[in-house]
Chains A and B, each alone.
Chain A
Amino acid sequence: MKQLGIFIKKEIYHILRDKRTLVILLGMPLALVLLFGFAITNEINNARIALVDLAQDELSQEISARLAASDYFTIEDQLPQVADIEPHFQKGKSKLVVVFPEQLQSNTRRGIPTSIQLIADATDPNTATTLINYAQAIIYSELQESTDNPKPPLHIQTEVKMLYNPRLKSVYMFVPGVMTVILMLVSAMMTSIAITREKELGTMEVLLVSPLRPPLIVIGKVIPYILLSLINTAVILMLGTFVFGMPVEGSLALLGLESLLFVVTSLGLGILISTRTESQQVAMLISLMALMLPTILLSGFIFPIESMPKLLQIISNIIPAKWFIIIIKNIMLKGTGFEFVWKETLILLGMMFLFIAASVRNFKIRLA
């Protein structure tokens, strides 16, 4: 046991000596959570739009004023004619152009059908659709107010309740995701590289001939990373809670245990990778391509799994991060207890044993 302690100390020295990596490991969660919390969002604010006002009458000006007054839009430019729209888009100046036809107001008064055109640069389809929707709504309401209109008959009103995240903050979604990615990074990627490095430098051989038993060597190597992971978890949780007001509805203890489970599962993966690779560069690339990208893309962190093609949905099941994200969202946001996440927990446990068993097997083969 004392030997193990010494061994862990050595590993902690390695980590502490490499200041740059340490700063990044501790700074990354900070930067990511802050970025996701403040900057990465789909909300539309002050989108730049342009007008082609061929009417130049009271109504067109009222509508323009209304558009300008909304938080969604800023009027960037007035284009003299419709032909200017395409070059305008090509310059990338704005993404929506509102075209008021000639004699808008007089035609309207006389009952001659006219139409206001909304032309969107739909290279980004979602933004285009959203901008059109907002603009439509604003123009309708202006038209509605400029005339008195009775409420329609037979109206169905829908009351929408947004559960768990009433203000639809994206941070709620991203905090669990960032936490997962960071834990994966520290646990799987760092350990696989650290162990391979020892192999590459030849120091692994020295350790293996020492009286320390091989499993202890591996345990000694990973414990500091477990500590680092838990520190990161705490930092991310505190940021989420104190900076972004994210709730932790469920039990903190359960959350901690589940995080530990995920960390150990990731470590298992990291060790498995290291038993199969000989050089740091290969370990890094495998971790990057086979662990980090799937964890970011296929875990439901950024893109909803339900919308993916069937094949990707099936693949997503073998990604531990997917299950962990479900678990932490349940505990943090829905406040559910163990009875709601036991299935996911069981899957993670299964994966953990699988990875560790496979690593032990590989390790033995190497020694034999």
Chain B
Amino acid sequence: MRTILFILRKEFLQIFRHRVMLPLIFIMPIIQLLILAHAADYEVRNINLYLINRDGSQAAHRLIGKFEASPHFNIVGNAFNSDEAYRAIQNGQADLFIEIPVDFQRNLLRDGYAQLQSSVDAINGVKAGLASAYTNAIITDFNEEFRKEWISAVNVSDSPKAHLATNGQPPQSTNTHTLLSQPSPNEADKRSWEITASPYHHITISPSPITIRSANWFNPELNYQTFMVPGILVLLVTLVGTFLSGMNIVKEKEIGTIEQINVTPIRKYQFIIGKLLPFWIIALIELAFGLLVGKLVFDIPFVGSLWLIFGFSALYLLVVLGIGLLVSTVTETQQQAMFISWFFLIIFILMSGLFTPIESMPAWAQAITRFNPVAYFVEVMRMVLLKGSGILDIRIHLIVMSAYAIAVNSLAVLNYRKTT
């Protein structure tokens, strides 16, 4: 035990002596958190819209007015023919264009039916899906209004049972969608346009008095940052932990001091623990710091127990640091250690459910995520911080993480050779 203390002391001396290290460990990640939380946002705003209006009618103008008023769209230009609009998409000026055909209003009134065309730059599928969904929402909304006015104008009474859409949604967690309403404009999936553009939204008059009410629990304002910040904290703590521990032993190999340690009677586990603990402590402090920033800057709800978060983090960090040490024991130079860590980290992080939901992955990929410690931590952070899950809810995570910690660190101890 005393031996471990001596290693600890030495490691801390070395870390604190390095002038670059401290800011790198504590300030960089916080800057990253601030930037990432703002950058990692799938909500799409400022979609650049080009219009081709071939109809001078009032209906067309009002429709355009609706797009102008939308926070999601910027109208960047008007074109007279589709070639011109197409060019605007090609050179990146516009994300989509909408074509209002000749006699749009007349067809609508005469045939009870009119057609609009929209073309979307779909290279970024997510963005295209959203752009299309927003477009549909606005058009449907306009359609309702227009129909309502027209029907009341010609004095045809509405079905008494029809529940009309309310404009704007209540700010609370419960939105009442009547059968006339369009999907919430907050949706973020590329396929949602298929739904809104599908025959479903033809049902505009209720066949029955059934309404569908939806509620968003745990994050009623659908704040994306609330969702992302806990995950980003995981990312940062993982990065710092892996790199610090991954570079550490290999650095001693490169400068040769490891030989000197290897001829001492030190026990392998003492050495590994001595190398692990300093970074474990640093990473936990870093996590605390990050959570504080999350609370103060992003107002992240701490629904569950912070003790549980720290308890799980302590376990998780043993795994992450153990992986770093393992990398350190199998590599010869810092460059190698760095590349290997980078390679595995990027895969761990992409497969962690941090940026894209795990449920969306194919079955084989979901199976892989069961071996991904980062995925467990991301999930636990979100469960405990945002939903208030308790220790029983995450017991499986705890068990898996413990097994992982034991396995990885035993491997690191076994792999560390005092004699070659």
Q: Which of A40, A47, A125 contacts B222 (CB 8 A)?
A: A125
Q: Is B118 located at the chain interface by the 8 A CB criterion?
A: yes
Tell me if B382 and A123 are in contact (CB < 8 A).
yes
| Residues A43 and B208 in contact in the complex (CB < 8 Å), given A125-B219, A159-B116 | no
- Report A240 CB to chain B, min CB distance, Å: 13
| Residues A118 and B214 in contact in the complex (CB < 8 Å), given A90-B383, A161-B118, A308-B39 | yes
- Report A278 CB to chain B, min CB distance, Å: 11
Closest A residue, CB atoms, query B333: A18
- Report A102 CB to chain B, min CB distance, Å: 13
A227 to B193: give the CA distance in the assembly, Å: 43
Q: Is B393 located at the chain interface by the 8 A CB criterion?
A: yes
Residue-wise, chain A 81-112 has the 8 Å CB interface mask toward B (1 for contact) of 00001110111100100000000100110011
A169 to B190: give the CA distance in the assembly, Å: 9
Residues of B within 8 A of A116 (CB): 210-213
Q: Which of B125, B334, B365 contacts A172 (CB 8 A)?
A: B125
Tell me if A124 and B227 are in contact (CB < 8 A).
yes
Tell me if A92 and B389 are in contact (CB < 8 A).
yes
Closest A residue, CB atoms, query B147: A154
Q: Is B6 located at the chain interface by the 8 A CB criterion?
A: no
A28 to B177: give the CA distance in the assembly, Å: 46
Tell me if A164 and B121 are in contact (CB < 8 A).
yes
Residues of A within 8 A of B114 (CB): 155-157
Residue-wise, chain A 149-160 has the 8 Å CB interface mask toward B (1 for contact) of 111111111111
Tell me if A21 and B208 are in contact (CB < 8 A).
no
Q: Which of A152, A170, A282, A330 contacts B204 (CB 8 A)?
A: A152
Closest A residue, CB atoms, query B117: A159
Tell me if B38 and A308 are in contact (CB < 8 A).
yes
Tell me if B347 and A304 are in contact (CB < 8 A).
no
- Report B279 CB to chain A, min CB distance, Å: 15
Q: Is A289 located at the chain interface by the 8 A CB criterion?
A: yes
Scan residues 351-407 of chain B and give those whose CB is less than 8 A from a CB of chain A. Answer: 351, 355-357, 359-362, 365, 368, 379, 382-383, 386-390, 393
Tell me if A302 and B161 are in contact (CB < 8 A).
no
Closest B residue, CB atoms, query A133: B183
Tell me if A159 and B123 are in contact (CB < 8 A).
no
Interface stretch (choices B7-15, B40-48, B261-269, B285-293): B40-48
A298 to B219: give the CA distance in the assembly, Å: 26
Q: Is B135 located at the chain interface by the 8 A CB criterion?
A: yes
Residues of B within 8 A of A169 (CB): 125
Tell me if A32 and B213 are in contact (CB < 8 A).
no
Q: Is A203 located at the chain interface by the 8 A CB criterion?
A: no
Residues of A within 8 A of B90 (CB): 330, 334, 336, 340
Residue-wise, chain A 303-334 has the 8 Å CB interface mask toward B (1 for contact) of 11011110010000000000000100110011
Tell me if A108 and B209 are in contact (CB < 8 A).
yes
Closest A residue, CB atoms, query B384: A90
- Report A197 CB to chain B, min CB distance, Å: 7
Q: Which of A91, A95, A111, A280 contacts B389 (CB 8 A)?
A: A91
Interface stretch (choices B50-58, B310-318, B337-345, B411-419): B337-345
Q: Is B335 located at the chain interface by the 8 A CB criterion?
A: yes
Residues of B within 8 A of A304 (CB): 42, 44, 124, 126-127
Q: Is A193 located at the chain interface by the 8 A CB criterion?
A: yes
Residue in A47, A153, A168 with the greatest tally of chain B CB atoms within 10 Å: A168
Residues of A within 8 A of B226 (CB): 123, 125
Tell me if B123 and A329 are in contact (CB < 8 A).
yes
Tell me if B122 and A154 are in contact (CB < 8 A).
no
A95 to B331: give the CA distance in the assembly, Å: 42
A129 to B188: give the CA distance in the assembly, Å: 7
Q: Is A114 located at the chain interface by the 8 A CB criterion?
A: yes
Q: Is B191 located at the chain interface by the 8 A CB criterion?
A: yes
Residues of A within 8 A of B361 (CB): 39-41
What 5 new A-B contacts, CB under 8 Å, besides A281-B251, A309-B38?
A41-B356, A118-B212, A125-B223, A152-B147, A154-B108
18 contacts between A and B (CB under 8 A): A21-B336, A113-B209, A120-B215, A127-B357, A128-B222, A132-B214, A139-B212, A154-B108, A154-B112, A155-B112, A157-B114, A162-B128, A163-B120, A165-B122, A170-B125, A303-B39, A304-B42, A340-B91
**Chain A residues in contact with chain B, CB under 8 A?**
18, 20-21, 24-25, 27-28, 31-32, 35-36, 38-48, 85-87, 89-92, 95, 104, 107-108, 111-130, 132-134, 136-137, 139-141, 143-144, 146-147, 149-166, 168-170, 172-173, 193, 197, 280-282, 284-285, 288-289, 293, 297-298, 302-304, 306-309, 312, 326, 329-330, 333-334, 336, 340
